[in-house]
Structures are given as structure tokens and as C-alpha cells.
Amino acid sequence: MKRFKIPSALSGALTASAVIFTVAAVTGGLLYLDRKQDRPIVVTAAAGASPDQLATTAEIHRILADRIDVQRQSVGIVVGTIGPDGRSIIAHGSFGGLDPRPVDGDTVFEIGSVTKVFTGLLLADMAARGEVALTDPVAKYLPMNVAVPERGGKAITLADLATNTSGLPRMPDNFEPSDETNPYADYSVDEMYAFVSGYELPRDIGAEYEYSNLGTALLGQALAQRAGKSFEALVHDRISGPLAMRSTAIDLPPRLSKRLATGHNEVLEIAPNWDLPAFAGAGALRSSANDLLDLLQVTVNTNKTPLTTALAVTLATRRAIGEQETSAALGWVVTKSGNGEIAWHDGGTGGYSAFIGFHPASRTGVVVLSNANTGVSDIGLHLLNREIPLTRVKPRHSEVSADPSLLGNYVGRYQLAPDVVLTVIQEDDALYAQFSGQPKLRLFAEGEHRFFYKEVEAAITFAAPASNRSPGLTLHRFGRDMPASRLSD
């Protein structure tokens, strides 16, 4: 069995952390742990379909209709595909809210962490022009009063930031939004610099991968400082302008605002748009499927251009994630699959999900944009490799009130395996569960003795208490029921 990490990007509240994917050979298929739903699925390749053969327009239409009309996981989705034989746009659904217009290839969406692909490409382009070097310390391009942390005599480089190996955390701890529906709007560049200046690295630079929105945000600020212009202006001058991507921006003029789809949260309620002034390089861009296909055109075009050279640099610079089945490139995640490598990134804000990826060997690429924060990575990856499955949403858990006086019956340590202990803790009127060496996660009641997690797809059923102590529990995860006995205190 192979285990590797793939980062979940800006999805949800832009606070998602890296999630373990597990891939194993199982009866002619793959065991695939979906990032969004955190569950495994056994899948075999579609009959008669090559893993790198793009799905037909009719097949993609069926996928989108199922996702929107049956599963109710979005309001409007646009898929763009590109390859040696040309490009196509397949769309289903509407702008949403009170706007019945159908979405299409020119509809604008927030793309969240797909912005990181642009930031990585900017870094590679500036390096190719001799304006920066990948090995330059980021401190070289920040104001003098920013004290970027070092460790062991080593400084954080631009490449360290772009590959999420800088040692900086996913988010700064002085991030305290006043408006949870637009959480990044009031976080300033000065606050980010203050956090970085006071941060002590917990490990050596380059020693370990940790997905860091903070790190890419800092990289975006550094590149903008070097260029002497805003991050948005730099993207326009180096990428969207030369490629005639006229629907890609951060601040939307009226002509683009009219084409911005309405965002929706995970239960399809209307969600406000996000503003990310300090985190621009990590997730502030908005774009359309047609524009992102223009970007992917660079990956299938055999003509050499400055951006072709820069793209090659983004893929050539690698840092291992886990056991090297997956690696971090400059702005891309590169995953090995049955039909070769796939370079990709996903993203999401409070009301949108996005995916961009391509298969270098076949020179095919895919874009998926949705106006709901429910995730579309499975669609994008499936279209690039038919052996990677689509996911189906499980019924949502229903939270009920729990009697706080009874929670103490479940507190204790439970042995799941010889080297795996689950500790259940009560804090005030809440119950938490914690695996050894892992963060504690809150449990929410959905029955007299049954609780569920909101962060991952898992649940726990406690045995009925005897003498005010539950003698054991059963962990429900990955389609399995795993019993555990209480350890003596």
C-alpha cells in the first residue's frame, strides 16, 4: 500500500489542512480516498476507455447533471477540456440566486487556490528573466523591517515558499476575522509581516511539506515588491495580458461583474464573495473556463514561448510529499497515476470550487468551475484519468442535543489497535476525540450513544455505559466498523 499527501487547497473556510490519500491495488482497481469527503472508493477503469482518454461531451453532461440535479451539490458547473484535437466547453446549471442565466465558458468564478498556479508561474517567469533566482531568500524582496525567520543558518527561499516546504504554518495565528463570511477582507499585509517576523520555525527549512496559504501569500507579496507593482498588475503583465485572458482579475470591472456567478455554500445558500488583500497570491483571482483553457493552451502547444519555458521550470522544481508518489512543484501538485503524471491544483472560497490540471504525456488539460463550495477535484481528476473515481455524497449527519451530564460516561482511552489509542475528552459541554499524535476533533451527538465528526467522514458509537463508564466504542470509518475496548485508567 502506498500513502501520500495531497494538499486540499482553499476549499471551505480557507482553513483546510493536508489530507492523507491512500492508493492500493484491490481486485483490479484502485482504493482512492476522496479529499473532500474523506472516504475510500474502489473503482475500475471504464470499460473500453483508456485512462488518459478524455470523456465525451455526452459523458461530461451526464456527470454535471448528476452532480447538480441529483446530488444537489452545485447550482452551476462549467467544464473545459483541451487537447491536441482542440478544446470544448460543457456547462450545466445557472448563475444561481435570483439569476436564471445558464453558466457558460465566459462565466466568471472565484478560483481560490488555483491562484497558486499563477503565483508559481510568475516566479518561474521572473527567474527565467533573471529578475529573481529560485534560491534567493524571500527576505531579499520584502521590506527591511520584516524579520523572516531562519533556522540552522538557512534562510527561507522563494522555492521553499512555492513548494510548501518553508516551515511556515498553513495560517498565521493572528488571523482573527471580524466577518466570517468574508474572512480575509480585514487581514492586512502589515499583520502578515508582523506574524512572520515573530514566528519561530518548528523544523528545518525544506525538511517537510506543509501546505501553507501563508507561505504562498508571502511569495506573492515578495514578487509584487520585486516587480514594483500590485500582484494583480503583475499577473496581467506576465500571464493574462500576453495570453489574452480578458476575464481574469481580482477587482472586477463592471463588464466582468455582470458575468460573475453567484456563490453558494455547502448547503447551497447564497454566500458572499471573498476579498483577500494580503493573501492575493494564495487565492484572490477570479476567472472563467475559457480563460483558464487559454492558460492550459501553453501545456499543449508545441510552439516555444516565454511562458512555455516558465511552465517547464514550474514542473522541473520538485519537493517530495510523503513517500514521493506525489510531489510539490512551483504552484502545482504533481501526482503519479496509472497513466503517468498529472499536474493539478484545486481551490475554493466560501461560495465556489475550482480545479485545473493537465496530463503532460497526452497533452490534455481540464478545467472545472462551480458556484458552490462543495468541491470538484474528483471531476477534474476523473476526466484526466478515468481510473480515478467520481464521488457521491453520503447523507448528512443530523445533530441533536446531548445531555452534558452524560458526556463524562464516554471519557477515557480506547484501544483500536496495538499501537493506536483513541482518547475521548470532555471540555465544558463538548466531547472531543484524539488519536495519539493527532489534533483533537470535536464530536457532535446524533443519537443517545452515537456521535459524528464534522471535519472528516467518520462517526463513533459508544457502548451503553455500565456504572457510569462506557466499556467500549466502535469507530465507523472507511465503510468499516472498528471496535475498541476501554483501557483501564
What pLDDT is recorded for position 437?
75
What pLDDT is recorded for position 306?
86
Q: Is 413 helix (H, G, I), strand (E, B) or coil?
A: strand
Strand partners, 3: 22
Q: Are 161 and 138 in contact (CB under 8 A)?
A: yes
What pLDDT is recorded for position 198?
97
pLDDT (tens, 9 = 90+) of the chain, 489 residues, equals: 233 333 333 333 342 223 323 322 222 222 223 333 333 332 333 434 555 567 899 999 999 999 999 888 999 999 999 998 899 999 999 999 889 999 999 999 999 999 999 999 999 999 999 999 999 999 999 999 999 999 999 999 999 999 999 999 999 999 999 998 999 999 999 999 999 999 999 999 999 999 999 999 999 999 999 999 999 999 999 999 999 999 999 999 999 999 999 999 988 999 999 999 999 999 999 999 999 999 999 988 877 888 999 999 999 999 988 766 789 999 999 998 888 899 999 999 999 999 999 999 999 999 999 999 999 999 999 999 988 889 877 666 788 988 888 999 999 999 988 888 999 999 999 999 998 778 899 999 998 899 999 877 789 999 998 888 999 999 987 667 889 999 986
Strands 86-96 and 25-26: unpaired
Q: What is the C-alpha R_g of the chain? A: 23
Instruction: Quick: pLDDT tens for 222-266.
Output: 999 999 999 999 999 999 999 999 999 999 999 999 999 999 998
Give the alpha-carbon dihedral of 167, 172, 174, 175, to 10 degrees: 180
Q: Is 117 helix (H, G, I), strand (E, B) or coil?
A: helix
What pLDDT is recorded for position 336?
87
Instruction: Quick: pLDDT tens for 148-206.
Output: 999 999 999 999 999 999 999 999 999 999 998 999 999 999 999 999 999 999 999 99
What pLDDT is recorded for position 4?
30
Name the grid cell of 29: 482497481
C-alpha–C-alpha distance, residues 223 and 221, integer Å: 6
C-alpha–C-alpha distance, residues 315 and 201, integer Å: 27
- DSSP collapsed to 3 states, 165-218: CCCCCCCCCCCCCCCCCCCCCCCCHHHHHHHHHHCCCCCCCCCCCCCCHHHHHH
What pLDDT is recorded for position 480?
73
